[in-house]
A and B are shown apart, each in its own frame.
Chain A
Amino acid sequence: MKSDFYSDPAAMAALLGELRRMAAGLERRLTFMEVCGTHTHSVAGAGLRRMLPEKVRLISGPGCPVCVTPVDYLDRALALAGLPETLVCTFGDLMRVPSSTLSLEQARAEGARIEVVYSPRDALRTARENPATRVVFLAVGFETTAPTIAGALAEAEAEKVPNFLLLPGNKTMPQVMRVLVDDPELEVDGFLLPGHVSVITGWRLFEFLARDFRISGVVAGFTPTDVARGVLALVRQAADGRSEIENVYSRVVSADGNAQARKLVDRYFEPADEIWRGFGTVPGSGLGLREQWAHRDASRIEVELPAPREPAGCRCGEVLRGVIDPPQCPLFAAGCDPEQPVGACMVSSEGTCAAWYRHERWAAEARA
């Protein structure tokens, strides 16, 4: 694969050289957290974590929407899939996330009606073509997927497709970051802020981090050089003793974001309390459907649910707060691995635990 401008080896070498020079002058090891699944993916894909200087540690926070989707959301999705004349449509990533009983993938193998789609509009099309079937789209994701989901709702309303419903599960970033930084145990010196989310929200939304908590944040893009540039900006702030919100992804992110997309989301959704796997309930951190759209809300359908069963012994919460490294969790590689994930961080192929599993088990073997 040939490199393009944004993954240019020479540009990368220059950025890493500068990072090493800066890191040499640091008094202690710094920990930065990225809170976006695409950052996690990009970092792992380029092998970036291991290219960083020893004194710069990059960890993954609650940035992968499916990873933080709680078991009771999946329990409800499974229960809906068991109802007559009901089809559940979902993004592919949710298929392997554990619930209190089966994953969606296992349930589908046992006959539940579950279909993988790439977009809420695919689910809407299915609803249009099958008027006798109630089609429930599992609405997960952050600020980034919310506008397309709202767009599909607008279309369903305009075209009067009554059998298209959502199971609301969208989450928003700022509130959970507030929970993170409020935690006295938090071992994070700064955030690599999510570029895609910021396209919608604008970077100003994250100003509270610097203003109220004196924690720095840098909005970065997703190519390897984008990420390195973001980390370098964070190291510079630390070296200078500054805590600011910076934007090194200005080719697409503005201070105020996409007002039109937010207006569309506001029309259909309002802030709701949401449960995050590994965090518990975070007030106002989700998007619930407004009362006016109750007829689109599959969470109002009565279903029988099992008692939610969170995996015992899972320390994802602490991993997500940067308090422990994955091997310190008793389940790590001992009952929890990418084939049979237990906790949030092992669910996504590039979650913190999965990334450790993938990279560090070789090093552990060498030590043994």
Chain B
Amino acid sequence: MKRPERVLLAHGGGGRLTRQLVEELFLPALDNPLLATLTDAAVLPEISSGRPALTTDAFVVDPPVFAGGDLGYLSVCGTVNDLAMVGAEARWLTWALILEEGADGELLECCVRGAARAAAEAHIEIVAGDTKVVPRGKGDRMFAVTAGLGVVPPDRELSDARIRAGDALLVSGPIGDHGATVLAHRHQFEAPGLRSDCAPLGQMVAALLESGVTVRSLHDPTRGGVVTVCHEVAHRSGLRLVLDQQTIPVRREVAGVCELLGLDPLALACEGRFLAWVKAGDAERAVEVLKAHPLGKEAAVIGRVEAAAVGSPPVVLQTTVGGERPLDLLSGLDLPRIC
């Protein structure tokens, strides 16, 4: 595979350099027959049953390469995970890059390889793409934009409207690893052991959905973390969520970064975890199913759903010492504290 030393404006110009980039970098890495046709649009096979699910996402992570992933890997994982959260089996993705003139060719190659690796892990194909280059100073090295198409099997229905008082809330693994890793990179902390949780979740979700457990709704706590998802769910379902601090898995390294920077792990992004609302009686079984999967070894029940009551906040945390703290939506960006 040949990669340019640096990205030039001409790489996005549609001419010889663009073609070289496609033929020598993208095609070999993302290798699949649909992409190889290089037609204006990918013509996909017929879907025999189920409903198509379509999503789109944009990725601007800084730094673009971090422990446990890179912008390419993250963009594919993020897209297939969004499909998984509505119960869809991800099939095809489009992948467009916006590169800054002068961006490092090695970074580009790393992210293309990352995307290819994620596609292989998630069993999907990247069937269409585009590359644009903006002048130096008009972008930040590399952005990615995706669309993802999946299929929801005929009788599968996930939605917040199905959540009932009494349901249990599960998390598939420790929270905040991705957010803490990116922040530690940004602040140049030495943080051995800290690693993004970024991963495609489709297979673990399929295992849960096919296990016979009654799953009401799924969400991946990306931007804004667990607290933001919980607020959205409480708002949409009209119910109240009670989280139990003692049971929420947080790695020591993540807790340490949060302590240093004055942040709350509940507000940090995850890129390879999901929250599941399941029927109360099925909670234990659901945890077992998740724990049987390599990405779900530390899955846990972390809360419950209650009827909303006038005078009580929609999302609360029962603290380790037995207190209760209303969890508010973040005000603006979560700024570091000094006191």
User: A residues bordering B, Cβ < 8 Å?
Assistant: 1-3, 7-9, 12-13, 16, 36-38, 41, 44-48, 50-51, 63-66, 91-93, 95-96, 105, 116, 118, 140-142, 144-145, 224-225, 228, 338-339, 348-349, 358-359, 362-363, 365-367
26 A-B pairs with CB atoms under 8 Å apart are A1-B246, A1-B265, A7-B320, A9-B246, A9-B321, A37-B337, A44-B325, A46-B321, A46-B325, A47-B325, A66-B338, A91-B338, A92-B337, A118-B187, A118-B261, A141-B338, A144-B339, A224-B319, A228-B321, A348-B337, A358-B326, A362-B311, A362-B313, A365-B311, A366-B311, A366-B312
Residues in B neighbouring A339, C-beta threshold 8 A: 331-332
Given that A365-B311, A366-B311 are known contacts, is A50 also in contact with B323, CB under 8 Å in the complex?
yes
A350 to chain B, nearest CB (A): 9
Contacts A1-B250, A1-B265 given; does A47 touch B335 at CB 8 Å: no
| B255 in the interface (beta carbon within 8 A) | yes
Residues of B within 8 A of A50 (CB): 323-324
Q: Footprint of A on B, CB under 8 Å?
A: 187, 245-246, 248, 250, 255, 261-262, 265, 310-313, 317, 319-326, 328, 331-332, 335-339
A12–B321 touching, CB < 8 Å: yes
Q: A363 vs B313: C-alpha distance in the bound complex, in angstroms?
A: 9
A37 and B339 contact, CB distance less than 8 A: yes
Which of chain A's residues have a CB closer than 8 A to the CB of B323?
46-48, 50-51, 224
Contacts A92-B336, A93-B336, A96-B332: A359 and B326 contacting too (C-beta < 8 A)?
Answer: yes
Let me know if A45 and B310 touch, CB within 8 A: no
16 additional contacts, CB 8 Å, given A47-B319, A224-B321? Answer: A9-B321, A36-B339, A37-B337, A41-B337, A41-B339, A50-B324, A51-B322, A65-B339, A66-B338, A92-B337, A93-B337, A118-B261, A141-B339, A142-B339, A224-B319, A365-B310
CA distance in complex: A338, B334 (Å): 13
Q: Which residue of chain B has the shortest Cβ distance to A37 in the bound complex?
A: B339
User: A91 CA to B338 CA in the complex, in Å?
Assistant: 7
State whether B321 touches A1 (Cβ < 8 A).
Answer: no
CB distance from A107 to the nearest CB of B (A): 15
- Nearest A residue (CB) for B260: A118
Are B336 and A118 in contact (CB-based, < 8 A)?
A: yes
Q: Roughly how many angstroms separate A275 CA and B261 CA in the complex, as a whole number?
A: 28
Q: Which residues on the A side are within 8 Å of B312 (C-beta)?
A: 362, 366
Please measure, in the bound complex, the distance between the C-alpha atom of A16 and the C-alpha atom of B328, giving whole angstroms. Answer: 26
A residues near B324, Cβ cutoff 8 Å? 47, 50
Tell me whether A45 and B325 are in contact (CB under 8 A). yes
A339 and B332 alpha carbons, distance in the complex (Å):
8
List the B residue with the shortest CB-CB distance to A361: B313
Residues of A within 8 A of B261 (CB): 118
Residues of B within 8 A of A359 (CB): 313, 326
User: How far apart are the CA atoms of A144 and B337 in the complex, in Å?
Assistant: 14
In the complex, A51→B319 CA distance in Å? Answer: 11
A362 and B320 in contact (CB under 8 A), knowing A91-B336, A95-B335, A118-B261?
A: no
Tell me if B320 and A3 are in contact (CB < 8 A).
yes
